[in-house]
Structure 1
Amino acid sequence: MIEETVESTAVSVDTRPTKIVYVAEATAHGGRDGYVTSQDGQIELKVAMPPELGGDGNGTNPEQLFAAGYSSCFHNALVLVGRRSGYDLTGSTVAAKVGLGPNKQRGYGLAVALSVSLPVLDADIAAKLVDAAHEVCPYSNATRGNIDVTILLG
């Protein structure tokens, strides 16, 4: 575990899209010691192994990119459910930590911890919005039942 936090619950619901409305494209060149690009030219990043995995850390890595994507997507889902419920989420943030480590199948797996801050809402309302966001966020739906996702509301 990344941190001792509240663990999400698995739900057996079909969350696959019924219609694809957007497709993102990216290409890796050289794996963890190379670079990544997006088809539209918005991303051109050097990637490098972090020191913890024997690299020099002179570049981003897939776990940082996943953390950026998940935190951004979850925050958008949170704003969406907040707006639909009539709540102001001014000053809200979502930070993600993505951990990488060996699994029992002799490969590697991920674990995610999301830290959500909703400073203008009381704790009960904030918790309900976080639960609702976790149900609609595409990253949450993709990871549910596959990796440990913990959420800390603070």
Structure 2
Amino acid sequence: MRSSLGQEAEMHPNGTGANIPGQENAARDIVIHDAWMQHVSAGTDLVAAYFAAENTSDGPHLIDSISSPSCTSMFGYHSDLEVSTLTRDLFTHLTIPPKQTLVFPPGGYHLVCHVAPGVTVSQGTTVNVEFHFLGGSRKTVPFQVREAKPYHEH
């Protein structure tokens, strides 16, 4: 069963980009669902974040950043590909086409959270992640932390 997560749109305090035509409703039009996290390996402060982003509107919308108070940084990663600047910056210019859903699953492109000092991210907790959109709107989405899958060498 799919659930819709995220608070309604808010404007950035400085209103940056708020007057871009067609972008004012991005946070309302983009539905983030199936949001969850897991530690990537024991003893690290990196947590992988997986989700789907659905654009319910007739126009494209752009995610221009993703952040969390629980993370010192969040960046793009792909499990099976060499990480480059483009991969790391994926979520700073990601267009979600109209009437489309982009999925960021284990084994594919996804987010990585570098857990902030003094913050504990453990199984059963929730990490709030904020999606920022071109045009200035944003939404906060709770990501449930799941048990990490065991690491197996091949």
Query: TM-score normalized by structure 1?
Result: 0.29
Structure whose CA Rg is larger: 1
Which structure has more relative contact order (CA 8 Å, sep 6+)? It is 2
